[in-house]
Amino acid sequence: MELVLIIKLILVVAVFAIALGIAAYSTYGERKIAAFFQDRLGPNRAGPFGLLQPLADGVKMIMKEEIIPAHADKTLFILGPALAMLTACMTGVVIPWGSTIEIGGAYYPLQITDINIGILYAFAVVSIGVYGVMIGGWASNNKYALLGALRASSQMISYELAMGLSIVALVMTTGELSIGEIVRQQHGWHWNVIYQPLGFLIFIVCAFAECNRTPFDLPECETELVGGYHTEYSSMKLGFYLFAEYINMFISSAIISALYFGGYNFPFMDSLGLSHNMVTTIGVFVFFAKVIFFIFFFMWIRWTLPRFRYDQLMNLGWKKMIPLAIINVLITGCVVLLLNKN
Amino acid sequence: MSQIAFYILSFLSVVSALLVIFSKKPVHSVLYLVFCFFTIAGHYVLLNAQFLAAVHIIVYAGAIMVLFLFVVMLLNLNADIEPHKDNVLKVSAVVAGGCLMLIMTSVMKTADTMPIIDSTNQIGVVKNLGLALYQTYMLPFELLSVLLLSAMVGSVLIAKKEDIENLPQ
């Protein structure tokens, strides 16, 4: 019992640290990738290859003067970025970061908690993530910020529906709501993306919209709204909003890899002839490789596609994504029914 | 352990529910209501109904209250522009509220006390809930979904009122 608790505690700290670390270096990666796409050099002053840039940015954010507008709702103004950061960090507990490790004959899973409704928990956290943006935008007492907040909330609600429906189809094929069990079912190369290609497509588009990433970054569309919901924010509060976006991107990539790309599973994992702990270690690295690929994919899209117009965004969400997701659920239902009969 | 959690959750839900009524700013009221929903979801978890807790948060805190907040923010309601209510309205509100409280207390007094559900109770697990909904309560469940659908169609119809009037008969 004691050992279980110690392992869980180590896992919590490790997941938190890794999430923050990867998010920090995503900012560096984003700028380097943007530079590559635009034929520039990117950050290269702080440290070798500019590797200390995230640190320099963090110090800059903390040292800057903090401004709270005179007519702002002070409590909610502080609560906004805090909530954005909190909800960004909450999903990590249900993601299986690796298979089990063997210590003294007993097996311990590399997942903080495998609740039987893991997918729904993740979905619930995503659905309350919008409060950080809404509260911050409203509390700023600024029309641009309010418009940004309203855009964010309507966008997130619209895309949550299609996302939920794509998860319904996934749950129908796997018959499970626990993320740990879904990943175990994808042993070897039985990845869900093979069985749910349309569902995966819908899910990843909605994940882009939920993370407010280009081409769906209308809540902070600077050509129309100055800075969107964080127009009035400065110092580390602004830093938290920007940082929460990168953590969300990391967590979304982790969920996409776990649900559709087999998580820590990789082909021929049984025929390598390695010990259980060794396979688990390779699995963890494979999982993080998949996650980093999807983070790169997020950035790749951002520097390739321009952003949508707002009516195009809503049309895509309501008139294309949701009908497609419903058709996907119908097809999945028919196939599952037919296969179970035989 | 779960008893301590129950008392903390109950205290928080009562306090946040009271703050919904007593806060001056409508936006604060909405946020306290969201918090209240979270504490109620906590109660569901204590009763081993994780599915209900998650759905409660997704539907109420994540969707309905966001729309509430949306409307309140757009209308930009404030304490100082709130219209003054006359005394007739206040008296009738007190009478109506008193009647509701009378009914509630009389119902609570005669209600059967439920047995304490122990933590090994499995009724809230997704599988049992699904079996109950789709086998024992199949008909009411389906009827409810039809009712929701008709409400949805109705609201779309109301929102599209102008277009319908302009249609050639």
The model's pLDDT over A142-188, given as tens digits with 9 standing for 90+, comes to: 888 888 888 888 888 888 888 888 988 888 888 888 888 888 888 87
pLDDT value, residue B74: 78
- Residues present in chain A in total: 342
Interface contacts A/B by beta carbons within 8 Å: 66
Indicate whether A103 belongs to any domain: yes
Assembly ipTM: 0.81
* Residue B61: closest C-alpha in chain A: A128
Contacts of A73 in chain B (CB under 8 A): 25, 27
The model's pLDDT over A183-202, given as tens digits with 9 standing for 90+, comes to: 888 887 788 888 888 888 99
**A146·B73 Cβ contact <8 A:** yes
Residue A113 has pLDDT above 70, yes or no: yes
Quick one: CA dihedral A307, A310, A312, A317, positive or negative?
positive
pLDDT value, residue B151: 93
pLDDT value, residue B79: 56
Tokens found for residue B87:
């005394």
Contacts of B31 in chain A (CB under 8 A): 76, 131, 135
Domain count, chain A: 1
pLDDT value, residue B167: 59
Q: State the nearest Cα–Cα gap between B97 and chain A, in angstroms.
A: 31
**What is d(CA B33, CA B38) in angstroms, rounded to the nearest whole number?**
9
Axis crossing angle, helix A130-139 with helix A118-128, rounded to the nearest 10: 10
Q: Which residue has the higher pLDDT, A334 or A99?
A: A334
Residue A88 has pLDDT above 90, yes or no: no
Tokens found for residue A53:
């840039």
pLDDT value, residue B168: 57
**B54·A121 Cβ contact <8 A:** yes
**What is d(CA A173, CA A185) in angstroms, rounded to the nearest whole number?**
11
Indicate whether A34 belongs to any domain: no
**A150·B27 Cβ contact <8 A:** no
List the domain boundaries for chain B.
2-136
Count of H-run helices and E-run strands, chain A: 14, 2
Count Cβ atoms below 10 Å from residue A321 Cβ, excluding itself: 23
User: Averaged in consecutive runs of 10 residues, what is the pLDDT profile of chain B (169 residues)?
Assistant: 86 92 85 91 84 88 84 71 75 93 88 64 75 87 92 87 60
Contacts of A116 in chain B (CB under 8 A): 50, 125-126
**What is d(CA B54, CA B126) in angstroms, rounded to the nearest whole number?**
11
* Residue A150: closest C-alpha in chain B: B70
Indicate whether A58 belongs to any domain: no
- Residues present in chain B in total: 169
pLDDT value, residue B159: 83
Apex A20 CA angle, A15 and A24, nearest 5 = 145
Mean pLDDT of chain A: 84
Buried b (16+ CB within 10 A) or exposed e, B62-98: bbebbebbbebbeeeeeeeeeeeeeeeeeeeeeeeee
Domain that holds residue A228: 65-341
pLDDT value, residue A15: 87
For B2-136, CATH number out of 3.60.20.10, 3.30.70.920, 3.30.465.10, 1.20.120.1200 equals 1.20.120.1200
Indicate whether A305 belongs to any domain: yes
Could you tell me the pTM of the whole model? 0.85
Tokens found for residue A191:
């990845």
**What is d(CA B58, CA B87) in angstroms, rounded to the nearest whole number?**
40
If phi > 0 it is left, if psi is from -120 to 50 it is alpha, else beta; for residue A322 that is: alpha
Question: What's at A274, amino acid-wise?
Answer: L
